Amino acid sequence: MARWVPPGPGRGEPQGHGVPAPRHVTAYATRPLPEDGHERGTLEWVARQVAALGGVPYHGLCAAQERPAAATYLVPDATLCSAPSDDPLVPMQENGLLGGVVPYPFVATKVVGHPLVDGAGAAPLGWVPDLGAALAEATVPGYAAFTVEDALRAARKLRREGHHIRLKQPEASGGSGQLVVHDPLRLRAVLAATPGPAMVRHGVVLEADLLDPSTYSVGTITCWGFRIAYIGRQHMTRDGHGHPAYGGSDLAVIRGDLRALQRATRHSVLREVVDKAIAYDARIGEAFPAFFSSRRNYDVIDGTDAAGRRVCGVLEQSWRVGGATPAELGAIGLMLADARIERVCASTRERYGRVAVPPDAEIYHCGMRPGAGLLTKYRQVSAHGGQAYAR
């Protein structure tokens, strides 16, 4: 995550108050990205797609230490942060970037979704004490902790409630940075190995581990004033060394926002999944009024806990370009091209090694990923009859 640096020599005026529409699109790297890496290649491909949808030029990639040009539409690789101790983020609004801006760094990570154990303990600047309890209806049982002692207390409480424990690093993505821990001694050893400054700054999440889970993606994205919403499923694959890796997403897309998706969803389980995402999104907005995002993606899990109880709740949020973004932009492009299309089926795939790419697919990255092998990413988009909403 990085703090937003206002474009151009001055601070300008707020979007929507006399500022002309962006004249070009800029990819914004908040951290060093190797020139031949898949993350940089995908980010720039997404930014070019955004530029094409808006009918404006692509202005290239801007590194975090550089200042983006004036009147640019920004496509950052991470959620941006406008800390209250700095100048307020006045010139940027939802229609100026593909992604989101939070008032404190922790808001963009997994810790924001859970309370402190027993409502007490160390917490970062900006922590809202009542938010965790308000989100309990929409999340998996769990706690956030910013000291080893608080994390151990949270683990003991989860075990008393009959849960197995999944330990998560708050800033990890794609299923990485997670560990299921049954042995309290091992948990203590893992926590003790976490550097103190990292624990204080980022914290950890301890959640109930679920059995036989299904994970869904619920989201909405607005690009150049055009909004879609979707529900989908994620896929896992294996990299070149056999390690689990993100394998892509299948999305059922409609025109409109999350409320429109809620009205269109017929299946009872899918409707509950959408309800959880909407509730989570609403509570975050109430707790942090300065937060805004043009892309909102929520991973929602449905499974059973160690005691056999069904659990459905949001695992994490993403307010930035994500693995499903190429599919989302493909759906927008198809709908913009034909006003009669109300629903779209869009998917992405990430595969390692030599793969047979379907003839109707569009490749957006193909290259070697260090330590993982040859990686090919592609998307497919087609008009959809809406069956996923009727089941």
Nearest to 108 by CA among 301, 293, 326, 329: 293
pLDDT tens digits along 90-111: 345 788 899 999 999 999 999 9
- Establish if 319 belongs to a structural domain: yes
Amino acid 9: pLDDT: 37
Question: Which CB contacts under 8 angstroms, 24+ apart, belong to 11-16?
Answer: 11/87, 11/90, 11/91, 12/70, 12/91, 13/91, 14/90, 14/91, 14/93, 15/91, 15/92, 15/93, 15/95, 15/96, 16/93, 16/95
Last residue of a domain, one of 209, 225, 247: 209
User: What CATH number does the domain containing 265 carry?
Assistant: 3.30.470
State whether 145 and 205 are in the same domain.
yes
- Establish if 136 belongs to a structural domain: no
State whether 165 and 19 are in the same domain.
no
User: What CATH number does the domain containing 113 carry?
Assistant: 3.30.1490.20
State whether 191 and 229 are in the same domain.
no
State whether 190 and 52 are in the same domain.
no
Domain span including residue 329: 212-390
Amino acid 69: pLDDT: 78
- Establish if 173 belongs to a structural domain: yes
- Establish if 135 belongs to a structural domain: no
Amino acid 35: pLDDT: 79
Amino acid 7: pLDDT: 46
CA-to-CA distance for 268 and 165, rounded, in angstroms? 28
CA-to-CA distance for 326 and 387, rounded, in angstroms? 22
State whether 154 and 227 are in the same domain.
no
State whether 156 and 24 are in the same domain.
no
- Establish if 335 belongs to a structural domain: yes
CA-to-CA distance for 57 and 24, rounded, in angstroms? 5
Amino acid 384: pLDDT: 67
State whether 175 and 45 are in the same domain.
no
Q: Kind and range of the H or E element at 72?
A: strand 72-76
Number of independent structural domains in the chain: 3
Check residue 95 and report its DSSP letter.
G
State whether 55 and 92 are in the same domain.
yes
- Establish if 177 belongs to a structural domain: yes
State whether 304 and 280 are in the same domain.
yes
CA-to-CA distance for 210 and 308, rounded, in angstroms? 9
State whether 299 and 315 are in the same domain.
yes
State whether 200 and 245 are in the same domain.
no
State whether 325 and 271 are in the same domain.
yes
CA-to-CA distance for 292 and 5, rounded, in angstroms? 16
Residues of the chain with pLDDT under 50: 4-18, 85-91, 389-391
CA-to-CA distance for 147 and 125, rounded, in angstroms? 15
- Establish if 157 belongs to a structural domain: yes
Amino acid 372: pLDDT: 84
State pTM to two decimals: 0.90
